[in-house]
Structure 1
Amino acid sequence: MNELTEKQRRVYAFIRDTIAERHTPPTRAEIAEALGFASANAAQAHLRTLERKGFIELNARLSRGIRLTAADDTPERSEAAAAHTLNLAVIGRVAAGAPLLAVEHVERHCEVDSALFSRRPDYLLRVSGDSMIGVGIFDGDLLAVSQASEVRNGQVAVFRVDDEVTVKRFARDGQTARLQAENPDYADIVVDTERESLALEGIAVGVIRSLQ
């Protein structure tokens, strides 16, 4: 890293350490705050320099779109890069039309970039059906799921209704839970939680369409 200035080293070290500790890269604003820059634009200027020198790759479409490259081959970089890459199991198929009995075996594993997701996922579930196309979840997609014990109204999540699994938007009214489709061709699933079994399997945090 001899070609980096002291300030550039500090920026790089902050990115590397954040990925190692939190498993996700920092935002431009977080870099600016941590290193005392006047604005996120100042942080962005340093990021562009690091990218030009081959130490990182930037994805302008993501607020945390920073990936470490192989330019730094120190043990610290290797540890951070490993933390940034997730090896997720692809399990079962999630019904996005009528609920489908979940297949619990692991089909395979996929290495994915943690920066692609709003929060760290725990596994990928294969979607079957088109009831959620209104939010960009299509038949055959891999849905990134973060395990959770609670779901808020309006969140898209994976549920088990009795012995079947489905992905829907959640809405609760008293003891009634409504699992809402995002396609007018499908009716919502209404569950009386006092009389029927409803379990939260996890919160949807992203979709992968390109992996086969």
Structure 2
Amino acid sequence: MLRELKGMSQADCAKALGLDRTTYVKYENGGSVRRNVEKLARFFNVSTDYLLGNTDNPADPAPAQPPAQKVTHYTYRIPVVGRVAAGQPILAQEEIIDYEYIDERLHKGGDQYFGLVVKGSSMEPTIHDGDTIIVRVQERVENGQIAVVLVDGEDATVKEVKESEDGLTLIGHNAAVYTPHFYSREEVEKLPVRIIGRVIQSISKF
């Protein structure tokens, strides 16, 4: 981790960057860094592309090619809804409250995406009340990944997922609000408990 290489605590980095600690922790936990990406890149002496996940090489990229050789990547518009019910994002025109844009290369793989406005503080400090999450539609996620999960046919919840032979555990990062909740295999089938998609990005609205 870049911070550990500098031998600094989260609080020290936040102070040096002029950020509050909650915002900095969110960046380390996968939150969108676009708002402060240039500041973070200078502080950690890496490229902005590295922080944005566009490259695995932390070094500054080679000089840009002339405009005639530059490859342009376009964005793909996805709908943002206020809630997800009955296992599907509500995409009727009157239910769409906003739009967000993702790299078109993500969509070319055939995956489907939607945005969802988070309500509640159970995932703080990773995801805050009012944040917009970008969700890739899929029925399974790896342990430790954050997913949108439908429980008992009600509106979906956003939680870290841990699956075992015995069942499924939903974990909120704010234990004071939401303690881990375990669902047995029988409950997963009968309620049901169903994963709708994986959260790939969280966007804060300032």
- TM-score bracket, shorter-length normalisation: 0.5 to 0.7
2:73–2:105 contact (8 Å) kept in structure 1 = no
Please point out which of 121, 132, 143 is paired with 1:130: 121
Question: For each residue in 1:190-210, what CA deviation from the matched residue of structure 2 results, as whole angstroms up to 9, or x when unmatched?
Answer: 222313311111001011113
Aligned counterpart, 2:149: 159
* Unpaired runs of at least 5, structure 1: 1-24, 30-39, 56-71
- In structure 2, the residue matched to 1:62 is none
Find the counterpart in structure 2 of residue 193 from structure 1: 185
Hey, what does 2:73 align to over in structure 1? 81
TM-score (norm 2): 0.56
Aligned counterpart in structure 2 of residue 143 of structure 1, from 122, 129, 133? 133
Residues 1:115 and 1:28: Cα distance change in structure 2 (over 3 Å):
farther
- Partners of 1:49 and 1:81 lie apart in 2 by 15
The whole-number CA distance in structure 2 between the counterparts of 1:179 and 1:92 is 21
1:69-117 C-alpha deviation (Å, 9 max, x unpaired): xxx6x9x96xx533xx1201001336xxxx9x9872322323345699x
State the distance in 2 between where 1:115 and 1:142 align.
Answer: 21
Matching of residue 208 in structure 1 with residue 200 in structure 2: no
Cα distance in 1 between the residues matched to 2:146 and 2:137: 13
Structure 1 residues 103 and 146, CA gap change in structure 2 (3 angstroms) = closer
Q: CA deviation at 1:148?
A: 1.3
After superposition, residues 18-57 of structure 1 pair within 5 angstroms as 27=55, 44-45=61-62, 48-50=63-65, 55=67
Runs of 5+ consecutive residues of structure 2 not aligned to the other structure = 1-52
Aligned-residue sequence identity (percent) comes to: 26
Task: For 2:153 and 2:200, locate their aligned partners in 1 and report how far apart those are by CA, in whole Å.
Answer: 23
Q: CA RMSD in A?
A: 3.7
- Distance in 2 (CA, whole Å) between partners of 1:174 and 1:107 is 39
Shift of 1:151: 1.4
Deviations 1:30-82 (CA, angstroms, capped at 9, x unpaired): xxxxxxxxxx86x822xx344xx6x4xxxxxxxxxxxxxxxx6x9x96xx533
SS of 1:194's partner is helix
CA spacing shift, 1:28–1:170, aligned 2, 3 Å: closer
8 Å contact 1:171–1:179 — kept in the other structure? yes
* Higher Rg: 1
Distance 2:54 2:97 in 1: 32
